[in-house]
Structure 1
């Protein structure tokens, strides 16, 4: 959200999520997981495949960060069923 091309209309939501993440990180009373989307997320085909990262935006070899809404949902459910990022932020993209 710190790049010039980040859409202004999304900034309030992104800032609110960043603030919430900082609150999560400061509490010991809660096991949490924060899933951050790729830079571009939109409806498309579900492939069931994706790559994960933690604090860095996941990009392809051309610097593109993209995932379909369907695969974003798969990543969320995969984490709920088989947690790997407890008390962490993680990101997903192709």
Structure 2
């Protein structure tokens, strides 16, 4: 996909731990690497992962690239 020049694609990756929890609406984005917090944990709730996905659909910020989300 990285060599594709006509299609504007995006690939969203969750944190290492994708867990059911409450929606906070807060998350960080990163590029093609795993995001971790100060303790080395990588997690996001299913609810906030969905928010991040919809945010990208409604206001695209990533084009022809993979990005990841986590707390």
Common fold by TM > 0.5: yes
| Ranges in structure 1 where 5+ consecutive residues have no aligned partner | 1-23
Cα drift, residue 25 of structure 1: 1.0
- 2:70 counterpart of 1:93: yes
Deviation sequence 1:21-80 (CA, Å, 0-9, x none): xxx212112100110110000111000000000011111000100000000000000011
Identify which of structures 1 and 2 has the higher relative contact order when contacts are C-alpha pairs closer than 8 Å and 6+ apart: 2
- Give TM-score, length-normalised by structure 1: 0.73
Following TM superposition, the consecutive aligned residue runs of length 4 or more in structure 1 with deviations greater than 3 angstroms are: none
Q: Which has the higher strand share?
A: 2
| Ranges in structure 2 where 5+ consecutive residues have no aligned partner | none
- 2:55 counterpart of 1:78: yes
Q: Which has the higher helix share?
A: 1
Residue matched to 2:12: 35
RMSD: 0.7
